[in-house]
Structure 1
Amino acid sequence: MSELDRIDRAILAAVQQDGRMPVAKLAERVGLSETPCARRLKRLESDGYIEGYRAMLSRKALGLGVIAFVHVRFSVQNQSLSDRFEREVRAIERIVSCHNVSGTADYLLQIVVRDLDEYGTFTRDVLRALPGVTAVESMLSLREIKRESGLPLA
């Protein structure tokens, strides 16, 4: 990866806010002409600073009213069991993020569902059935204060 200068950081900040911004507008925002701006954007993509582009969807419009953060614990630490767990988690759409963490839990999951009834069923039928899971501790979000808004570029 190459070193980021002020303009690279400005490009990253701008596309992090609006990934659909036309190159002409991006160039104007960062103080470059279109061609050098497009070249830098391509370099940032090929160097791996930009992993992709996607839309932020509305949970409310999609009827996903419950966010749960879940600590998952294993009773035994086994690499093949962890690998199976992680593989299965990647395939479950309702699990929107999964982190292997330190502390009292082995994994922290973020789950979105329609309502508490669906969450109860999901916990019973899906979470507790995952390989290696011996304990599940749920924390329900009462109110979202800040949604992922991008990475710090300082």
Structure 2
Amino acid sequence: MKRLDELDLKILDELSENAGISIPKLAKKLGVKQSKVYSRVKRLLRRGVIKRMTIEANEEALGLNVKAFIGINVESLEREKVVEEIVKVPEVVSVAEVTGRFDLFVEAHVKSLEDLYSVVSKKIAILPGVSHTETFIQLKKRQSLRKFSLLK
């Protein structure tokens, strides 16, 4: 795969901040021709560098006020089955296999602490193969933007 150049990285930075920006506005912001930006975006999509263009919903406006991370220890023979079941839980945003004291790290978004308790105790902790869970509640999110220009 051909390396990404500075323009590619700037395009990724801008699109990660606002995927809905028009090609003319993006070109003006970057100081290059529209045709160049258009061809670069198409190439990034074709090469799979950009998986999809999407939105970021305001979860608080949707009532999802509690965000939590759940560290999970799993019996090794049950890992795949546990992951398959956890990804079916509607409140689960992501599941990652990790190193350290947990086997899995799950992110969940819910409306209330009661809902979080229900998700952890009635949907995750009871799964066969789950031996331990530890829940961390997000107090404040500090940064969510990716800066692809750091890849230079």
TM-score, structure 1 normalization = 0.89
What corresponds to 1:25 in structure 2?
25
Residue identity in the other structure for 1:36: K
**C-alpha separation in 1, matches of 2:128 and 2:21:** 43
What corresponds to 1:141 in structure 2?
138
SS at match of 1:129: coil
Runs (4 or more) in structure 1 with deviation over 6 Å come to none
**C-alpha separation in 2, matches of 1:29 and 1:117:** 45
SS at match of 1:61: coil
**Shift of residue 57 of structure 1?**
1.0
**Shift of residue 126 of structure 1?**
0.1
What corresponds to 1:104 in structure 2?
101
Q: Which has the higher contact order (CA 8 A, sep 6+)?
A: 2
**C-alpha separation in 1, matches of 2:147 and 2:124:** 30
Identity %: 25
Residues 116-147 of structure 1: CA deviation (Å, up to 9, x unaligned): 1111111121011334111111111222223x
Residue identity in the other structure for 1:150: R
Q: How does 1:1-150 map to 2 (within 5 A)?
A: 1-74=1-74, 76-78=75-77, 81-146=78-143, 148-150=144-146
The answer to whether the Cα contact below 8 Å between 2:89 and 2:123 also exists between their aligned partners in 1 is no
**C-alpha separation in 1, matches of 2:36 and 2:148:** 24
- Which structure 1 residue ranges, 5 or more long, are not aligned? none
**Shift of residue 151 of structure 1?**
4.2
TM-score, structure 2 normalization = 0.90
Number of aligned residue pairs = 150
Residues 38-90 of structure 1: CA deviation (Å, up to 9, x unaligned): 1111001111111111111112111111111111001x312xx2222222222
**C-alpha separation in 2, matches of 1:126 and 1:13:** 37
Residue identity in the other structure for 1:112: H
The answer to whether the Cα contact below 8 Å between 2:6 and 2:149 also exists between their aligned partners in 1 is no
Residues 79-111 of structure 1: CA deviation (Å, up to 9, x unaligned): xx2222222222222111111111111001111
**C-alpha separation in 1, matches of 2:128 and 2:51:** 30
**C-alpha separation in 1, matches of 2:149 and 2:126:** 40
Alignment counterpart, residue 148 of structure 2, candidates 135, 146, 152: 152
Residue identity in the other structure for 2:35: T
